[in-house]
Structure 1
């Protein structure tokens, strides 16, 4: 009887660990597909707002050859830190050099810059854009205006 219980326990724990490996080794399980400049998986933007933000991002790409991607997500699970999530998401995508991640449920925002533009847009400048132009609007529930302000300020810094 003891052998059967031990065998059941080993099988139970073995399946539990293998499921975690599947999650960690399968990035499509964690990250949404980035298919455009604006990827609103949390539905915080209207279609017309997405079109406007996409136009700004296209303009910046045309003028500076730097792609900007906005991704809104309802959750960053299994991550607990928006910085780590956005960094790994940015590493996975080839679509943009600047990745803006918004998780409304966590009240979290992160802008990740690729190494190629750090001389044009530093981490300090990015933090200032977030603190002074994006977050004040997010606190009012104006996600579109906050993102629009952020993209406009990024455009100014890149010129």
Structure 2
């Protein structure tokens, strides 16, 4: 009986030792589970990949793990690609540079949307001719930096749908629009009021600024609000007299 329990324990331990490496969550563009890169190197790579994604739309990421065993790097790379789902939905323009440091293997996984330009032959050339020579000299950051730079250059030549404007930029546009509208009302509104009269000038400024707002910012309500405010300001503004001094020039004569 004791021998049976020992055999079962050995099987359990052996199975645990052969468990698949867990795929880490995608929380950043550069994930280093080996502490190979320092903070500055990681930040530099992150910034470059983020800037490219904002400009081009394609999403590239780097993952460094100690090992993919018991799986091959190809098997593990497929699991990472399925879990991370890099690239835009419907475009599938993601790519992954995967490095298994202790296994001395690496691989580039490419989404279908980039296979026309970052194909197997090109990916192999980047690995063999750019990254591996650095790795053989123990230069891991230069290898990863040069490899990702080569990937970005290749992907940059592919015709892809333009990236969508970030949602946060809408807030900036609305704030800027109100400043622009206020400046136009003060400067142009006064000139039009003098030339056309209050009501025609107010109608013209309200319509013009409302149309400008509609072109710059999607929400129709914002455009209507800007147009109405411009109409009211031009219609009611400038009713007071100019603020000026009433002093008398000259010198007071002495007796």
Q: TM-score interval w.r.t. the shorter chain? A: 0.7 to 0.9
Secondary structure of the 1:90 match is helix
Alignment partners' CA distance in 2, 1:59 and 1:134: 22
Residues 1:68 and 2:88 are matched in the alignment: no
Which residue, 68, 81, 84 being the options, matches 1:90?
A: 81
1:103-128 per-position Cα deviation (integer Å, ceiling 9, x unaligned): 11111111100111111211111111
Secondary structure of the 2:109 match is strand
Alignment partners' CA distance in 2, 1:69 and 1:142: 19
CA radius of gyration, larger in? 2
4+ residue runs over 6 A deviation? none
Cα RMSD, aligned residues only: 2.8
1:53-106 per-position Cα deviation (integer Å, ceiling 9, x unaligned): 111211221222111111111121331x11111122111112451111111111
Secondary structure of the 1:147 match is helix
**1:62-141 alignment, distance < 5 Å:** 62-79=54-71, 81-96=72-87, 97-141=94-138
Alignment partners' CA distance in 2, 1:95 and 1:129: 20
**Equivalent residue pairs, number:** 149
| Structure number with higher relative contact order (C-alpha < 8 Å, ≥ 6 residues apart) | 1
**Bigger Cα displacement from structure 2, 60-69 vs 46-55:** 60-69
**Contact between 1:30 and 1:77, CA under 8 Å: does it hold in 2?**
no
- In structure 2, the CA distance between the partners of 1:77 and 1:32, relative to structure 1 (3 Å rule), is farther
Residues 1:40 and 2:37 are matched in the alignment: no
**Contact between 1:70 and 1:101, CA under 8 Å: does it hold in 2?**
yes
Shift of residue 130, structure 1, vs aligned partner? 0.7
Secondary structure of the 2:108 match is strand
Alignment partners' CA distance in 2, 1:132 and 1:77: 25
Secondary structure of the 1:105 match is coil
Alignment partners' CA distance in 2, 1:72 and 1:124: 22
1:38-57 per-position Cα deviation (integer Å, ceiling 9, x unaligned): 00101110110001111121
Alignment partners' CA distance in 1, 2:34 and 2:140: 11
